Amino acid sequence: MKQTAFEKMENAAPFKRVASFTITHPKKPGSYAVINAAYPADDAGRLQVFIVDSFGDHRTCQAGAASGYGYDKFTAALSGLTIDGHTLTDHCGHDDYSKALLKRAKGLSYDECRALLSKGGARGYQFANWSADGWASCYKLPGLDYLRAIGYTVIQAL
């Protein structure tokens, strides 16, 4: 049975190690970013990511990489790179806003804190480590999860 071009692409070894994402925002028509990732042939190799960001006045290109075993190398490689002015973080990433949210959460109940995260700028953040004294940490959502939470559309093409 003859394979279609799509099936040939899916079955070709190099294409099993790549991913491509397009990032758009409904309020920014014509603007987009593309993320291309090249995965290593083995689990220990170096994963590389490239971001072409066409949001804003001019197009930029950034590169990141991560290597090692047993963790989310894709998100680690994106950490520190930006899309449309938003800096992406790894898991458990902090920024000034996460620190401010944690301060605002002091003395609030569990439910009040959860409601705080559903408001405007707090979307894209999460509290962690609840105890009787309240939340111990506040993190920015990792990688593409942050962009999704604040209204961007993430489409994986490959």
Phi (first) and psi of residue 29, to 5 degrees: -60, 140
Alpha helices in 27-95 (DSSP H): 73-78
Q: Which two tokens stand for residue 27?
A: 């309020």
- pLDDT recorded at residue 48: 97
Give the separation between CA 79 and CA 109, rounded to whole angstroms. Answer: 32
Interval 130-140: pLDDT, tens: 888 889 999 99
Q: In the structure, what pLDDT confidence band is assigned to residue 55 with cuts at 50, 70 and 90?
A: very high
- pLDDT recorded at residue 154: 98
pLDDT value at 8 more than 90: no
- pLDDT recorded at residue 143: 96
Interval 86-120: pLDDT, tens: 999 999 998 999 999 999 999 998 889 989 998 77
Give me the mean pLDDT over the 42-55 stretch: 93
Residue 2, CA distances (Å) to 6, 9, 13, 134 in order: 11, 13, 18, 61
Q: In the structure, what pLDDT confidence band is assigned to residue 50 with cuts at 50, 70 and 90?
A: very high
Give the separation between CA 16 and CA 27, rounded to whole angstroms. Answer: 33
Pairing relationship of beta strands 153-156 and 18-24 according to DSSP bridges: antiparallel
- pLDDT recorded at residue 139: 96
- pLDDT recorded at residue 110: 87
Cα torsion 115, 121, 125, 128: sign: negative
> Does residue 9 or residue 73 have the better pLDDT?
73
Place of tokens 């190690």: 17
- pLDDT recorded at residue 69: 86
The residues, ordered by sequence, that sit 6+ positions from 43 with a Cβ below 8 Å of its Cβ are: 69, 70
Interval 65-92: pLDDT, tens: 999 888 899 999 999 999 999 999 999 9
The residues that bridge with 82 in the sheet, in sequence order, are: 87
Interval 139-156: pLDDT, tens: 999 999 999 999 999 999
Give the separation between CA 148 and CA 154, rounded to whole angstroms. Answer: 7
